[in-house]
Structure 1
Amino acid sequence: MNGLDVGQLKHLVVEPTLTGLGLGGSSAVNLLTGTALAESRGTYLKQIGGGPALGLWQMEPATHDDCWDNFLRFPVGKRLGGILEDMLAPDLPRSAQMVTNLRYACAMARIRFYRVKDALPVASNPYALSRYHKVHYNTVLGAADSAANVIFFKAALQA
């Protein structure tokens, strides 16, 4: 794989970011690491082909804004919103920071998964992690292939 070293991404970005949010644990760390690999190969900061997705986790600005508009500004998400606000640089719009701020982009992807009612899959099951990503992050309309993406979640587990 090209791009960032998976072990460094997992242990220097994903793990401390999720711990800081209070939303860590092995399942979440492996899911978010694998998601970055599945979505951008840990390489691309803007969607190839002119799409709107941004950052290693390839979140669309509309999804980003929905997290803020319908969760983080309400009492149930306010604590997390405060943590996210502290991650932001003052000179860029929030969604644009998913390109330049790995910690913020990772945290926003975790928020997207956190809003899902289904429990996180077992940390050691790359097949379940890949399916969870497809269903709850990429959706049925997205291009992700959960069978083909298992390799990325295996890499996340091994890092």
Structure 2
Amino acid sequence: MTGIDTAQLKQFVVIPTLQQMGAGMASMAAINLVVGTALAESNAAFLRQVTNSGFGPARGLWQMEPFTHDDCWSNWLRYPPQSKAATAIRAMIGNLPAEADLMIVHLAYACAMCRVKYFRAPTALPRFDDAAGLSRYHKQFYNSALGAADPVANVARFREAIRS
């Protein structure tokens, strides 16, 4: 299954979204990590998680689960040090409520929430051109040890994110 053209996803969604979020959000490493995550999570093709029995809980190209989405708002974005990022994200969605289902239909919002999840990680991002490092970072801080992501197999997806 092929999804959105990677170069267009990067140029028209990820870069402007991360830039809008403020300083420190749009480094080349962050951009490549977020693009690679969309490829690793859904091949930049699925708006809902696909399971054998229908749909799973994950939403958007970045396949974030509602619990994770809500945790980002409850335990990070609501605090004053993050007010600039929270204000930028709210500006993206206008009067719409910041709900997990919005990640299905709003690419910029889903992208921003992915970046928030990574921004909360305790370890610095790998180099922007380190596909293996980005893939391992994705597995450790986004997908988790219990998730299905394969950090070795996903190196190719992060290489594509770097190339695009």
- Normalised TM-score (structure 2): 0.93
Distance in structure 1 (CA, Å) of the matches to 2:3 and 2:41? 12
In structure 1, the residue corresponding to 2:147 is in which secondary structure? Answer: coil
Aligned to 2:6: 6
Query: Do the aligned partners of 1:126 and 1:154 also contact (CA within 8 Å) in 2?
Result: yes
Instruction: Name the CA distance, whole Å, in 2 between partners of 1:104 and 1:156.
Output: 19
Asked if 1:43 corresponds to 2:45, the answer is: yes
Q: Is the 8 A contact 1:18 1:107 kept in 2?
A: yes
Distance 2:14 2:91 in 1: 17
* Per-residue deviation, 1:91: 4.8
Give 1:151's aligned residue: 156
CA drift of 1:136 comes to: 0.3
Q: Report the counterpart of residue 28 of structure 2 in structure 1.
A: 26
Equivalence map 1:50-65=2 (5 Å)? 50-65=55-70
In 2, the alpha carbon distance for the partners of 1:18 and 1:91 equals 19
Could you tell me which amino acid in structure 2 is paired with residue 118 of structure 1? T
Please tell me whether the aligned partners of residues 30 and 153 of structure 1 are also in contact (alpha carbons under 8 angstroms).
yes
Where 1:155 maps in the other structure, the secondary structure is helix
For residues 118-154 of structure 1, give each alpha carbon's deviation from its aligned partner in whole angstroms, at most 9, with x where no partner exists.
Answer: 0000000100000000000000010000000011001
Gaps of 5+ in 1: none
Q: Which amino acid aligns with 2:20?
A: G
Name whichever of 69-78 and 23-32 sits farther off.
Answer: 69-78
Match of 1:51, SS? strand
**Contiguous gaps of at least 5 residues in structure 2:** none
For the 8 Å contact 1:54–1:96, the answer to whether it is kept is: yes
What is the CA–CA distance in structure 2 between the aligned matches of 1:91 and 1:119, rounded to whole Å? 32
Q: Matched residues in 2 for 1:144 and 1:92: separation? A: 30
- Aligned-partner Cα distance in 1 for 2:81–2:44: 31
Cα deviation, residue 96, structure 1: 1.1
The C-alpha deviation readout for 1:89-129, integer Å capped at 9, x for no partner, is 53565211101110010000000000011000000010000
- How far apart in 2 are the matches of 1:74 and 1:5? 36
SS of the residue corresponding to residue 56 of structure 2 reads coil
1:99 pairs with 2:104: yes
- How far apart are 1:6 and its partner, in Å? 0.3
| Higher strand content, 1 or 2 | 2
Give percent identity, aligned residues only: 47
Query: How many residue pairs were aligned?
Result: 159
